Chain A
């Protein structure tokens, strides 16, 4: 009797475990698809990635990326405005399914959430006119580069530039931009956002990227462990990169094509 009870309990135990393993929790992707709406956190205070339009609706690069994903996934889109400080907590507490907020990746953040492939560029580089023949730090020989004193570009460029390159340091972004547009410096070391801002009014001094100093592209954030959702987002980004939809967004908002490094992912 005792032996039978022991065996019976063992069989019951195995049966329970087998049953338990079939009771999987529905993945976040399935939950979202059932819900019919994709909730995306977007920035409101950081043009051109996210700002408020004249009709008080959110507009920007990240909003358009969110619309692209929602369309491809055949879901309605709900935009949730966030700040840089609360975007990750919103994701962790499932107030949103995705964070598309010009977010950079670093080891501390990687411990808290999962990151997709890069979808938009955010880099510091050296820019100049179309005709300037510069494609690497060595080509700066004998040229004059303007940069904002104390910025990351200043520190990096000072390490990269050859001895006979002239670095002119100005006090702030606006003075550095003025120096480039008035021709006082041949090239400018700054971020691609700044360049996008001045591209429209630059005339024949329209800045074109020569080489990157530091790359920190934007990634989409998902809750840690949402593997199915992450895989879906990555496949859509790959699709967007190969069929040119993401390139179109870059041209619209940053007035420049996606850099080769991003497209090669």
Chain B
């Protein structure tokens, strides 16, 4: 093997890599918050008694879960302008990621909700709590605690999926890698370093979620 590694060359592109890193982290933060919110609302609709709402949300979930993310993204970015809806690359990317996480987290949170023991809900009703109070105070917290590992994993998967946004020219981490590689052709060095950066973000996210879990669900700390 007679290839000389040249990692030093990448130092010339510090600003591009930093910008990519910041963009990916910002996208991830917004997507996680909005996506989980959407997921909670969706799960409430799916687990609730209103049949037509449950069916409509079910349609959305099945549509998003059974089509590739990149196709959804291209539809929003390249397809919607034909209907007069022109979103910028960043707006389209964020929207696609939120819709994507929303669908998956709907199903995950719904699983947690439906595992609620019937007795708990009945007890809450006998105590005179309103439906909204029962949902937000009695059903939801244990439900989230139950499916917390699955939900956080899905958030990390969507963060890794943000790499696809480079295809519509959003300047996140993968775009930075492709840009650098197209200027100096050092594929090994570039993609190696970017892979490490994604690993750092993913491990960081897992630790942050773990800490949030300790604070929010202290009774599970023994697990």
Q: Which residues of A contact B (CB under 8 A)?
A: 146, 149-150, 154, 168-171, 175, 178-179, 182-184
Contact = CB atoms under 8 A, between A and B. Distances in A.
Contacts of B77: 182, 184
Interface of B: 77-79, 81-82, 86, 88-89, 166-169, 175, 178-179, 181-183
A47 to B, nearest CB: 25
Contacts of A154: 182
Given A149-B182, A169-B179, A182 B81 contact: yes
A171 B178 CA distance: 9
A154 to B, nearest CB: 7
Contact of A184 (B78, B167, B181): B78
Main secondary structure of the interface of B (DSSP, over half): helix
A183 B167 contact: no
Nearest to A171: B167
Contacts of B169: 146, 168-170, 179
B187 to A, nearest CB: 12
A170 B182 contact: no
B126 to A, nearest CB: 57
A149 B177 CA distance: 12
Contact of A182 (B78, B166, B181, B182): B78
A184 B88 CA distance: 7
Contact of B81 (A146, A150, A183): A183
Contacts of B82: 182
B81 A170 contact: no
B182 A150 contact: yes
A150 B179 CA distance: 7
Given A168-B169, A170-B167, A171-B167, A184 B86 contact: yes
16 contacts: A149-B178, A149-B179, A149-B182, A150-B178, A150-B182, A154-B182, A168-B169, A169-B169, A169-B179, A171-B167, A175-B167, A182-B77, A182-B79, A182-B86, A183-B86, A184-B78
Nearest to B169: A168
A262 to B, nearest CB: 31
A168 B88 CA distance: 11
A149 B175 CA distance: 10
Given A171-B166, A178-B78, A184 B179 contact: no
A53 to B, nearest CB: 33
A178 B167 CA distance: 12
Instruction: Name which of B169, B175, B183 has the most chain A CB atoms within 10 A of its CB.
Output: B169
Given A171-B167, A178-B78, A179-B78, 10 more contacts: A154-B182, A168-B89, A169-B169, A169-B179, A175-B167, A179-B168, A182-B77, A182-B79, A182-B86, A184-B88
A175 B179 CA distance: 16
Nearest to B175: A169
A154 B79 CA distance: 25
Contacts of A149: 178-179, 182
B85 to A, nearest CB: 11
A168 B181 CA distance: 16
A131 B82 CA distance: 20
B195 to A, nearest CB: 19
